[in-house]
Amino acid sequence: MSQVEAIQELRNLLLSDDRVRIESQFDGYKSELLSAIQKVESEISDPEKFSVHLSKNKTTMIDILGPMMGQMIKKYVEAEIEKINEKISNSRNWFKNKLTNLFVPKSKRTRDSLSKIGTPEIKQVLLIERDSGLLLGKYSDDRDVDTDIIAGMFTAIKSFADTAFSSEENELEFIHYKDHKIRLFPYGTLYFAIVFTGRDTVVLNEILTAGISDFMDRYYERYLATQHRASLYDDISGLIEKEFKEICKTLEQKSY
Amino acid sequence: MQDFRAKIILVGPVGVGKSSLIRRFVFQMFSDLYLSTIGVRVDKKTIEVEGKQVHLLIWDLAGEIVNDKAYSNYLKGTDGIIGVFDLNRPQSYIDLQNILIAIQKEFPGLKSLVVGNKKDLIDESTDLRDLYDYDYLSSAKSGENVELIFEKLAEKVITSHETV
């Protein structure tokens, strides 16, 4: 007899009484469990019995389903209120527009409607040295903003982003802040930062790219030849203003 | 009057008082949040030097990023640097020397000044010249020499541009 067989024999002799006792107990539980399952099955398959069972255990069912139903109802009500608010807001705008149309000339109305849908509007143009972040020239309709600091911070943010994403070929090109958008156009050792509101459209980018390219073709050599960048500032700012006033006009025509 | 623009950077280890010196010198437009997020903040002060209106664009670099690649990128195109150390922490002087050596290696000929800050915390009888080699002593707390430091660097930068 092997060792395993000997142990099995010993187990049979020692545990036979326990085994009989446990098996008889298990049979009792087994039959109880089976009858409970059968009862539930018969109640579920018979709608009448199921409804009786539910009505008998109403309180228990409410305790279980109540919190879940509450959450679902709350979400549904919130969504419905949101929809109603949106409808009220739209109706109010429609009514307001109708009233405005009664008193405002048609041409102005058209222009206003178009501007509302996000026609791009150039707010600032900054020509900046790529490395130093120093401003070489600007065109800005906002006298309160210190464009020197803005140029420096644009350069710092640009440098940070370019380093963080360790990209030599790709550069930061676009910054979006609330209703203001900033598009950066690199050109040699300089870059233009154009701050605008409205949509970032293909037409806008085409006009800006063409305008900047044309401007830089004429003035970049002059910048490179100048030893003292300070002497360029007023001159270049004047030229940028002239150029971008034209660009704004073109943009206005093409947008309408 | 001719306008002149210059990029000035304050460098030095953490906690030597670079930002405090700038705060003493300019009204700051941006919060300290920029220093902790992108490691730099730009401020501006316009001063008159040698009959010229000089717009100093002052870049405050966070001491924590001294070993980052971003640090040397921020230094590009700089006209002059102010190296700051804490007179009460000799280690900060050694650290500053290492920073300046690294900068001069990458940007040779860059105009610079070495400033020992927090002079208000030093015993007046201490002979600081025996301990450190510096250009100026300053105190952001009392304001001592703060304006002078920026003016002197601006003069150096203008002179170097005029002799090009």
Sign of CA dihedral A193, A194, A199, A202: negative
| Whole-number pLDDT of residue A107 | 61
**Residue A82 has what pLDDT?**
64
Residue A77 carries which side chain, given as an amino acid letter?
A: V
Q: Which of B7, B29, B74 sits opposite A134 (nearest CB)?
A: B7
Residues from chain A that touch B74, judged by Cβ atoms under 8 A, are 156, 159
Continuous segment of H or E residues that includes residue B92: helix B90-106
pLDDT of A88 above 80: no
Contact B73/A167 with Cβ under 8 angstroms?
A: no
Q: A144-153, A231-240, B91-100 — which is least confidently predicted?
A: A231-240
For tokens 């030093």, the residue is B122
Q: What integer pLDDT is reported at residue A227 of this predicted model? A: 67
pLDDT tier, A92 (very low <50, low <70, confident <90, very high otherwise): low
Describe the strand order of the beta sheet including B52-61 as a list of residue ranges: B40-49, B52-61, B3-11, B80-86, B111-117, B136-137
Q: Nearest CB to A133: which of B3, B39, B77? A: B77
pLDDT tens track for A219-232: 888 888 876 666 67
Are A178 and A149 in contact, with CB atoms under 8 Å apart? no
Mean pLDDT of A111-131: 77
Mutation site, A153, A229, A235, interface B, largest B CB count within 10 A: A153
Q: Which residues lie below 8 Å from residue B125, measured CB to CB, with a gap of 6+? A: none
Phi, psi of B9 (to 5 degrees): -125, 135
Q: Closest to A157 (Cβ–Cβ): which among B5, B38, B78?
A: B38
Minimum CA–CA partner of B4 in chain A: A230
> Residue A172 pLDDT > 70, yes or no?
yes
Residue A117 has pLDDT above 60, yes or no: no
Of the pLDDT bands very low, low, confident and very high (cuts 50, 70, 90), residue A192 is very high
Using DSSP bridges, classify how beta strands B111-117 and B80-86 pair: parallel, antiparallel or unpaired: parallel
Residue B12 φ/ψ, nearest 5 degrees: 155, 165
In percent, the amount of chain A with pLDDT more than 90 equals 19
Predicted pLDDT of residue B33: 66
The model's pLDDT over B6-63, given as tens digits with 9 standing for 90+, comes to 999 999 999 999 989 998 898 766 666 667 678 888 999 999 988 888 999 999 988 7
Residue B68 has a pLDDT of 76
pLDDT at A95 over 80: no
Tokens (6 digits) for A52 = 């009786």
For residue A183, the tally of other CB atoms under 10 A from its CB is: 19
Q: Could you count the other beta carbons within 10 Å of the beta carbon of residue B132?
A: 15
CB pairs under 8 A between A and B: 76
Chain A nearest CA to B85, separation (Å): 24
CB contact under 8 A, B5 and A230: yes
A146 CA to chain B: closest CA distance, Å?
A: 9
Confidence of residue A235 (pLDDT cuts 50, 70, 90): confident
Contacts of B19 by beta carbon, 8 Å cutoff, 6+ apart: B32, B35, B60
Min Cα distance A132 → chain B (Å) is: 4
The model scores a pTM over 0.80: no
- Neighbour-count burial of B13, counting CB atoms closer than 10 A to its CB (0-12 exposed, 13-18 middle, 19+ buried): buried
Residue type, position A143, single letter: R
pLDDT number for residue A255:
63
Average pLDDT over residues A52-71: 77
Q: Average pLDDT in the B100-110 region?
A: 92
Are A172 and A161 contacting, i.e. CB atoms less than 8 angstroms apart? yes
Which of A128, A151, A149 has the alpha carbon at shortest distance from A236? A128
- For chain B, percent of residues with pLDDT exceeding 90: 61
If one compares B144 and A251, the residue with the highest pLDDT of the two is B144
The token pair that represents B7 in the structure block = 């990029």
| pLDDT recorded at residue B75 | 93
Question: What's the pLDDT at B3?
Answer: 79
Three-state secondary structure call for residue A121 = strand
Q: Give the C-alpha separation, A97 to A109, whole Å.
A: 9
CA-CA distance, B164 to B156, in Å (whole number)?
Answer: 13
Q: How far apart are alpha carbons A165 and A9 in whole angstroms?
A: 73
Confidence at residue B28, expressed as pLDDT on a 0 to 100 scale: 62
Query: How many angstroms away from the CA of A194 is the closest CA of chain B?
Result: 20
Q: Which pLDDT tens digit goes with each residue over B54-100?
A: 999 999 988 777 777 788 889 999 999 999 999 999 999 999 999 99
> Do residue A152 and residue B164 have CB atoms under 8 angstroms apart?
no
